[in-house]
């Protein structure tokens, strides 16, 4: 390869797109290819209340048929800037039992622990979910390895 070819390639003259002779076609192309950093974001969605959120996710978990749906719904529920209500978590735990996915049931409690602000709130969730946790036989990580929790 010659040095002049490399210099031309570095300047961009070799790989440039051909210029359009027609000014109308050039402006039409420019209109299609123009991007604005100040594009307005539009959303058709309205603000959802916590109660609406809870009802929606309870329905989602009630209709779960496989592990993929369960984990997808859990990821979506925990992605919000809130901790799901106990009713949503009960529906998630029942769905985990229905699809026979014990590890995901344990991860629900780890997700709660990660989302709450302090240990007191986590304990309130544990107290609320204790009957279902015992019914399903879910053993938490901190119960299996008490010396590792600090």
Assign domain 50-144 to a CATH class.
mainly alpha
Q: Count Cα neighbours of 120 within 13 Å in the Cβ-side half-sphere.
A: 0
For the whole model, what pTM was predicted? 0.67
- pLDDT band, residue 39 (cuts 50/70/90): very low
Which DSSP string do the residues of 24-41 spell out, in sequence order?
A: HHHHHHHHHH---TTPPP
Tokens of 137: 């036989």
- How many Cα atoms within 13 Å fall on the side-chain side of residue 54? 12
pLDDT band, very low/low/confident/very high, at 150 (cuts 50, 70, 90): low
Residue 145 confidence class, pLDDT cut points 50, 70, 90? confident
Per-residue model confidence as pLDDT tens digits over 82-118: 999 999 999 999 999 999 999 999 999 999 999 999 9
Q: Comparing C-alpha atoms, which of 45, 81, 82, 78 is closest to residue 60?
A: 78
Which residues of the chain does CATH 1.25.40.40 include? 50-144
Q: Is the pLDDT of residue 24 over 60?
A: no
CA 28 to the chain's CA centroid: 38
54 and 87 Cβ atoms separated by less than 8 Å:
yes
State the pLDDT at residue 12.
54
CB-based contact 70:64 (threshold 8 Å) = yes
Q: What totals of helices (H) and strands (E) does the chain contain, helices first?
A: 8, 0
pLDDT score recorded for residue 146: 84
Q: Give the pLDDT of residue 36.
A: 44
Helix, strand, coil share (%) of the chain residues, nearest 5: 65, 0, 35
């Amino acid at each position: 390869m010659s040095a002049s070819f490399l210099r031309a390639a570095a300047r961009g003259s070799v790989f440039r797109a051909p210029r359009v002779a027609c000014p109308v076609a050039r402006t039409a192309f420019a209109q299609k290819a123009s991007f604005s950093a100040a594009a307005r974001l539009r959303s058709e969605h309205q603000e959802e209340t916590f109660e609406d959120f809870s009802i929606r996710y309870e329905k989602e978990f009630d209709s779960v048929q496989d592990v993929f749906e369960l984990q997808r719904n859990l990821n979506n529920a925990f992605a919000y800037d809130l901790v799901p209500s106990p009713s949503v978590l009960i529906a998630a735990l029942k769905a985990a039992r229905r699809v026979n996915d014990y590890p995901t049931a344990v991860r629900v409690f780890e997700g709660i622990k990660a989302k709450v602000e302090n240990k007191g709130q986590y304990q309130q969730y544990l107290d609320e979910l204790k009957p279902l946790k015992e019914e399903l036989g879910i053993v938490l990580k901190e119960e299996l390895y008490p010396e590792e929790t600090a």
